[in-house]
Amino acid sequence: MKFTRIQFRNKKKTQRDLQQVQAETLAELGSHLHQLRCDRSLTLDWVSRRTLIPARLLNAIEEGNLDKLPEPVYVQGFLRRFADVLGLDGLEYARQFPTGLELKARPRSWRNSPAAQLRPLHLYLLYISIIIFSVRGLSYSVSQTSGDAPTAPATAPSPNSQPAPSNVAPAVNPTSTPSTSSSTTVETTGNANAEGQSVRVGLTITDESWIVVKADGETAFEGILSEGTHVWTAKEKLTVLAGNAGGVTIAVNGNEAQPMGEPGSVEEVTLTADSRGAPGTTPRQNN
């Protein structure tokens, strides 16, 4: 119990430390972007039109206000596009803002260590011996089956026994045929239902919008989409975030398409395999 409490406290402390670092880094980067924008005499509305990021979110970035911004991974994308418009290397610039995802990837590094790749020699010898005995056992069983096979046709050559099974066969066939056909259709239906357990989302873009699509927790797409229709699928869950929700309509699992939100608003929707229509979107304003 004490160990669990210590772990929980350490996790909360790590989250507080990460949020503090994010706030300090955003304040520094936002102040720098604000200075560059003012030096070039550019307005927030102009930057908003070029990046498709609402002006209120750009203002929150310049002020370093995390409470008015969505999740850190989206903030990092906003910083990249903001910096690109001002003539900076947006990718390198945005990497300075920590999202916390890099902390989750560290525990897996032990798998690549030399110690984890070492294998005792006796295990290899054991594997080889198991393979040898398996091959010998298989060849022995095959030789036994092949030796017993000729005796079966030699013991039943009598012609008198053939009419009896031919008379019985017509009575048995009608009952056996429907059972096999029905079982086949049931299995096919079951497989079709199992394969159909997925979520399929179609996005129709009527006005340019910044789009982020996550399929089963992995980022499937991030960027600006122009007019057209795009489709994504996922096994369990699919999340869509739109920077200009008024220019995006969404259709879930082949149902009727519905608009994601108002023009210029940032909306996010999460869909699962059992979704039958486009549920209500969720505004992404607070962290």
Which of 48, 47, 12, 1 is closest to 266 using CA atoms? 48
pLDDT at 286: 39
Work out the pLDDT band at 129, boundaries 50, 70, 90. Answer: confident
Q: Which residue has the tokens 């929700």?
A: 245
- Measure the CA–CA gap between 69 and 268, rounded to whole angstroms: 13
CB 58 within 8 A of CB 81: no
Does the residue 32 lie in any domain?
yes
Dihedral sign computed on CA atoms, order 154, 160, 163, 165: negative
Residue 253 confidence (pLDDT): 85
In whole angstroms, how far apart are CA 167 and each of 154, 172, 234? 24, 10, 56
The reply to whether 156 falls in a domain is: no
In a domain, 111, yes or no: no
Where does a domain end: 64, 88, 104? Answer: 104
* Residue 54, in any domain of the structure: yes
Average pLDDT over residues 226-237: 91
pLDDT at position 37: 96
Cα separation, 109 vs 101, whole angstroms: 14
Please indicate, yes or no, if residue 135 is contained in any of the structural domains.
no
Residue 70 domain boundaries:
2-104
**Is the pLDDT at 165 greater than 60, yes or no?**
no
Q: Is the pLDDT of residue 244 over 90?
A: no
Distance separating alpha carbons of residues 161 and 140, to the nearest angstrom: 34
Q: Is residue 75 part of a domain?
A: yes
Q: Let me know how long the chain is.
A: 287
pLDDT given for residue 166 in this prediction: 45
* Domain boundary residue, one of 104, 138, 165: 104
Q: What is the distance between the alpha carbons of residues 269 and 250, in angstroms, rounded to a whole number?
A: 10
Q: What is the pLDDT of residue 73?
A: 93
**What ranges in the chain are assigned the alpha helix state H?**
2-39, 44-51, 55-63, 72-85, 90-94, 101-104, 121-148, 151-155, 163-195
The set of residues, in sequence order, having a beta carbon less than 8 Å from that of 36 and lying 6+ positions away, is 86, 87, 88
Q: How many domains does the chain have?
A: 2
Long-range contacts of the stretch 276-279 (C-beta < 8 A, 24+): 276/252, 277/252, 278/250, 278/251, 278/252, 279/252
Domain boundary among 81, 104, 127: 104
Q: How many CB atoms lie within 10 A of CB 21?
A: 13
How far apart (Å, rounded) are the C-alpha atoms in residues 1 and 85? 52
Does some domain include residue 144? no
> Rounded to whole angstroms, how far apart are CA atoms 80 and 76?
6
Please check the confidence at residue 175 and state whether its pLDDT lies above 70.
Answer: no
Report pTM.
0.43
Judged by average pLDDT, the poorest of 41-50, 118-127, 249-258, 266-275 is 118-127
pLDDT at 273 over 90: no
- The model's pLDDT over 183-214, given as tens digits with 9 standing for 90+, comes to 333 333 333 333 456 889 999 999 888 899 99
Instruction: Find the CATH number of the domain harbouring 93.
Output: 1.10.260.40
* pLDDT tier at 12, thresholds 50, 70, 90: low
pLDDT at 80: 97
What percentage of the chain carries pLDDT values higher than 70? 62
- Give the relative orientation of helices 72-85 and 55-63 as an angle to the nearest 10 degrees: 100
How far apart, in whole angstroms, are the C-alpha atoms of residue 41 and residue 216? 43
User: Is the residue at 99 inside a domain?
Assistant: yes
